Amino acid sequence: MLTSKQHELLMFINERLGRTGVSPSFDEMREALDLKSKSGVHRLISALEERQFIRRLPNRARALEVLKLPEVKNTAVPTPKNAIPVAANDTIEIPLHGRIAAGTPIEALQGTESFSVPAALLGPGEHYALEVSGDSMVEEGILDGDFALIRKVDTAREGEIVVALVDNEEATLKTFRREGQMIRLDPANRNYKAQRYEPRRVQIQGKLAGLIRRY
């Protein structure tokens, strides 16, 4: 037997999955149920999970699966005709940290937005997204307005495309090279020159794991 709020949340999640194939965010659930905080949503989710109405897909943000509805006890929920297949729900929500220059370094931005990414595009490890600003990496197929998917690492190998934080305040997307005692950050556009820095001035904050382009 579900409480009215548990029932309301279950119906909301099921409707959203059937319509879009993606679970609603905790903020969307909070607003839909007119709750004051997300902690109330967490309690409702846990209660539904304990009663085996839903389950959380492991290692996936915003990934919930409805197992049954109270009106159809112990029966799997039918898939609507126009619903996206279950695999479409296999998305990961990663932080979106603003715009990063693919030309001259810009101030490193730390945004609070999130970005939904198909899980198949990402490998192991922690990731975040950056919106590319500039054209200095066009010969690598990285265009202004693209979203770079970055795997968090603090070291890089020769030839890898990395997010480099310069002087602890400016971030840039470039190919990592070593040149003697210096670090060289190479553009992929013949109109731009390589940038050279002493190692102490450069901090590797991640390497390119994928790219998303919106049309």
169 burial level (CB within 10 Å; 0-12, 13-18, 19+): exposed
Per-residue model confidence (pLDDT) at position 196? 95
Q: What's the CATH fold of domain 4-86? A: Arc Repressor Mutant, subunit A (1.10.10)
Q: Are strands 106-107 and 54-56 parallel, antiparallel or unpaired?
A: unpaired
- Residue 163's nearest CA partner among 101, 112, 118 is 101
pLDDT tops 50 at residue 49: yes
Domain borders along the chain are 4-86, 92-212
Q: Quick one: pLDDT band at residue 34, thresholds 50, 70, 90?
A: confident
123-182, pLDDT tens digit by residue?
778 888 998 988 999 999 999 999 999 988 999 999 999 999 998 878 899 999 999 999
pTM score, whole prediction: 0.56
Q: Which of 198, 62, 210, 40 is nearest to 125 (CA)?
A: 210
In degrees and rounded to multiples of 5, residue 64 shows phi and psi of -120, 145
Amino acid identity of residue 44, one-letter, is L
Characterize 57-67 residue by residue with b for buried, 16 or more Cβ atoms within 10 angstroms of its Cβ, and e for exposed.
Answer: beebbbbbebb
Answer for the pair 155, 202: CB distance below 8 angstroms, yes or no.
no
* Whether the Cβ atoms of residue 203 and residue 153 lie closer than 8 Å to each other: no
Structure tokens at 205: 């904050």
The one-letter code for the residue type at 191 is: N
Q: How far apart are CA 91 and CA 12, in angstroms?
A: 19
Q: Active-site residues: which are they?
A: 136, 174
d(CA 180, CA 159): 15
CATH topology of domain 92-212: Umud Fragment, subunit A (2.10.109)
pLDDT > 90 fraction of the chain, expressed in percent and rounded: 27
Task: Say how far apart CA 41 and CA 53 lie, in whole Å.
Answer: 15
